[in-house]
Amino acid sequence: MERGGTVDYWEHGDARGPGRPVLSTLLDVFRLRQYFNLITAARTWAEGVREDAGLLSDVRRAAFTLPGEGRRRVELRPFGPPEPFSVEWLGGKRLALMATGGSGALASVVGAARALEEAGVQPSVISLCSGSALFGFPVAAGVPAAEVAEFVLSFRPEDYVDVDWSTLAALVPTAARGFAGVIRGERIEATYRRLLGDMRLRDLPIPAYAPVWSVEENRLEYLGPRTYPDLSVARAVRMAIALPLFVEPVPLGDQSWCDGGIVDIFPVRPVLELEEPCDVSLAINGFYPPGFVGEDARGWQDRRASILYVASQVRTCQQAELARVNLRRLAASTEVLMTEPVPYHKVRGVGFYRQFLNPAEWPEFMRSGRSTARRALLGHRVDARTGRARAVQTAGSGVRTTGVRPEKAHRAAKVSGAPREPAPNGPGVRGSR
């Protein structure tokens, strides 16, 4: 179309109105971020296939098994006999159990729940996200940690992976209309119904929440007893893990909902706003480097294909910053015991997908979740004069628990996130107030 001596290139209009310029659509600043996502995803998968052929085996085994191929052997009982311990300083205080997303690495939630059982402490609220919903909702339903462990460790690929072969086969003839995920998600819901029946969110003995994202309205909501009381827990689990392009969106009402972890990886609203505020938060970071610091991309200008490293940072910049902001908000209102039971490299890149498809390491993640939670709770000290937490160094454990006043929470969160990689002696725990 020519106007005033210029030529505009337009894409076709639709029922909602006239078309838009093609270049305007392609170069929209928000669409550029999508291009960075695609670049980074392609690079991540290429590196993973090159560096770890096991990824292909995990994907294939999740999609179908070969004749005569047996099940993977996975340890079903990761915990020994209970080892009770006392946390007198928690007497009369409300404790929140919180977790990021992070695929199978959040099996560590089960270990943290086991530690709380051994301490005789029941969380007042549980805040979950994405992968942690697989493990945290059964805990909130009152299932003992050992039983939750056996339940999830007994998963076979067909219990939670249902590839939508018919839709995949029709991608070209249908021009991919309606396609938004490789896995349907129906099996994961059915599997959790076998454990929890038709329990509704309002029936949970411990209030639990997880963020979900609306495709149609591009907004975030939190599934839980005060927001969606009549929703089944099994459906909530399915919605919470519906990662776009990986698992199909789940219909609810007149909208389609996906994993809210793509926006809010460390949800604090359930603890600070939706439920009565808590005094202490036992938090698990199973997704980002310690302290949500983000990856270190120094020297990107000197690397080949530098744009790939820029793309990686752009892809996560908003999510990582929101996680840091949420941590500061939380530390300003509650005492935070931050644990990082799983080394970051386990979920970095294609590790995220491998830890979902292959549960072989889940038992160790559970044990690590238990041990770091126990150290966080036992390493806590309160100054008898001020009633405030004070720094404690636990000899030989690689654990440092630090408590500061709320007005210094911003600084504490920043300092606690200084390490770029887990300490050589293993997963760590940090606390702030």
Better-predicted residue by pLDDT, 278 or 288: 278
What percent of the chain stands above pLDDT 70? 65
Report residue 239 as tokens: 């919605």
Q: What is the pLDDT of residues 324-379, one digit of tens each?
A: 999 999 999 999 999 999 988 887 776 677 777 788 899 999 999 999 999 999 98
Query: Which residues are 252's β-sheet partners?
Result: 255
Residues 98/283, Cβ–Cβ less than 8 Å: yes
HSE toward the beta carbon, residue 309, CA cutoff 13 A: 12
Task: Report residue 130's pLDDT band, with 50, 70 and 90 as the boundaries.
Answer: very high
Task: Please state at what angle helix 145-153 crosses helix 108-119, rounded to 10 degrees.
Answer: 160
User: What is the pLDDT averaged over residues 88-93?
Assistant: 91
d(CA 121, CA 142): 13
Note the pLDDT of residue 53: 57
d(CA 151, CA 158): 14
Q: What is the pLDDT of residues 24-61, one digit of tens each?
A: 554 454 455 555 555 555 655 555 555 565 555 655 55
Residues 192/161, Cβ–Cβ less than 8 Å: no
Residue 408 has pLDDT above 50, yes or no: no
Task: Report residue 265's pLDDT band, with 50, 70 and 90 as the boundaries.
Answer: very high
Exposed e or buried b for every residue in 270-309, given b needs 16+ CB within 10 A? bbbebbeebebbbbbbbbbbbbbbbeeeeeeeeeeeeebb
- Which of the listed ranges 27-41, 113-127, 296-310 does the model predict with the highest average pLDDT? 113-127
Q: Is 200 exposed, middle or buried (0-12, 13-18, 19+ CB in 10 A)?
A: middle
Note the pLDDT of residue 290: 87
Exposed e or buried b for every residue in 105-124, given b needs 16+ CB within 10 A? bbbbbbbbbbbbbbbebebb
d(CA 127, CA 206): 10
Closest by Cα among 417, 400, 128 to 274 = 128
Better-predicted residue by pLDDT, 261 or 302: 261
Residue 119 has pLDDT above 90, yes or no: yes
- For CA atoms 403, 366, 189, 142, the dihedral sign is negative
3-class state of residue 191 by DSSP: helix
Q: What is the pLDDT of residues 212-233, one digit of tens each?
A: 999 999 999 999 999 999 999 9
Note the pLDDT of residue 348: 76
DSSP 106: G
Note the pLDDT of residue 64: 55
* Identity of residue 231: L
Report residue 176 as tokens: 């991919």
* Identity of residue 237: V
Opening angle at CA 130, ends 183 and 277, nearest 5: 155
Note the pLDDT of residue 358: 82
Q: Specify the long-range contacts of residues 44-50, CB closer than 8 Å, at least 24 apart.
A: 44/349, 44/350, 45/350, 47/349, 47/350, 48/349, 48/350, 48/351, 48/354, 49/350
d(CA 57, CA 429): 34
d(CA 120, CA 185): 35
Instruction: State the pTM of this model.
Output: 0.76
Note the pLDDT of residue 430: 45
In the block, tokens 């005492």 appear at 335
d(CA 40, CA 25): 21
Q: How many CB atoms lie within 10 A of CB 418?
A: 10
In the block, tokens 């997880």 appear at 210
Rounded to the nearest 10 degrees, how much is the dihedral formed by the CA atoms of 127, 133, 135, 139? Answer: 50
